[in-house]
Amino acid sequence: MVNILPAKEIYLQGNEHALLLLHSFTSHTRDMKKVAAKLHEEGYTCYAPLYRGHGNAPEQLLQYNVNDWWQDVMNAYQFLLDEGYQKISVIGISIGGIFTLKLAQLEQLEQIIVLSVPVEKEPEQLKQRIMDYAYNYKNIEGKSALQISNEIEPFTNMPLDSFIAFQHFIKDTMLHLNKITIPIAIFYGERDEDVYAQSAETIYQQVQSSKKKLKGFANSKHLMTLGRDQEDIMKEMMEFLRMNNGNLTQ
């Protein structure tokens, strides 16, 4: 059987402008590994925390919920403050993008970039994400179909309660988009599900930022930072972060 190594957080110290990099649900810091390396080359300090239960055996995810992961994000933000960084921007993908929007509603950030963000998710969809992750993880481990079937049972039997709370967290974040006034870039993959392009448009329309950018990437699916447009996406990120004034257009 294959032994899958657990993921780790990423912390690359650079200049006084710190970037908090937030990964997606059921994934881990690999979502942001290339982004961190590239932006660190440009001089930025980059910190990608690992949410509890992520980047390891899927059973660990069963112990936590959205409130734990949100607390991980808040702890990561506080870590950067404690390290002495007063200029902090945030980049988040998928659920990491939800956390980015929430953080921008509550804290004093410089700029934010969100990718592949859903404005809504059904509890059943969120549960299915964990089940798919568990199946794929065990398949990569080389386990038999019978063993996988037996080990998937606890995931199948998960109650929807924590996923309903997750859905409410997303809805609450979207209800307060008008609190966001700092510069924001919203990216989506044109090969992702249509709902993500629609979500990007909704976010673009509802934030109150005078500097905002909406952009689709033709060759990208959901995990944009790992896909075929990743070089273009990182160039767009760098350009956006460098901008200090002037209104952005679509």
CB within 8 A of 246, min separation 6: which ones?
Answer: 211
Among 27, 89, 94, 220, the active-site one is: 94
Residue 248 lies in a domain: no
At 9, which amino acid appears?
E
Residue 152 lies in a domain: no
Rounded CA-CA distance 30/6 in Å is 11
Q: How many CA atoms lie within 13 A of 113 on its CB side?
A: 25
Contact 103, 73 (CB under 8 A): yes
pLDDT at residue 5, rounded to an integer: 80
The radius of gyration computed from the CA coordinates of the chain, to the nearest angstrom, equals 18
- Averages of pLDDT over runs of 10 residues in the chain (250 residues) are 83 98 95 97 98 93 95 99 98 98 98 96 91 91 92 91 94 98 98 95 98 97 94 97 54
Contact 21, 48 (CB under 8 A): yes
Tokens of 229: 């447009």
Residue 102 lies in a domain: yes
Among 31, 72, 192, 229, the active-site one is: 192
pLDDT at residue 249, rounded to an integer: 36
**CATH code for position 227:** 3.40.50.1820
pLDDT at residue 148, rounded to an integer: 92
Among 17, 40, 54, 222, the active-site one is: 222
Give the C-alpha distances (Å, rounded to integers) separating 231 from 34, 96, 129: 10, 20, 27
Q: How many structural domains is the chain composed of?
A: 1
Contact 24, 31 (CB under 8 A): yes
Residue 18 lies in a domain: yes
**Lookup result for tokens 């969809």:** 125
Tokens of 232: 């273009």
192 is catalytic: yes
Contact 34, 99 (CB under 8 A): no
The pLDDT tens digits for 54-84 are 999 999 999 999 999 999 999 999 999 999 9
Residue 25 lies in a domain: yes
Residue 192 lies in a domain: yes
Whole-structure pTM value: 0.93
Distance in angstroms between the alpha carbons of the first and the last residue of the chain: 49
Which of 18, 157, 6, 13 shows the shortest CA–CA distance to 85? 18
Rounded CA-CA distance 119/4 in Å is 33
DSSP line for 34-94: HHHHHHHHTT-EEEE---TT-SS-GGGGGG--HHHHHHHHHHHHHHHHHTT--EEEEEEET
The pLDDT tens digits for 74-115 are 999 999 999 999 999 999 999 999 999 999 999 999 999 999
Rounded CA-CA distance 181/126 in Å is 29
What residue numbers bound the domain in which 196 lies?
10-120+178-242
pLDDT at residue 30, rounded to an integer: 93
DSSP annotation of 62 reads G
Residue 155 lies in a domain: no
94 is catalytic: yes
Residue 128 lies in a domain: no
pLDDT at residue 248, rounded to an integer: 38
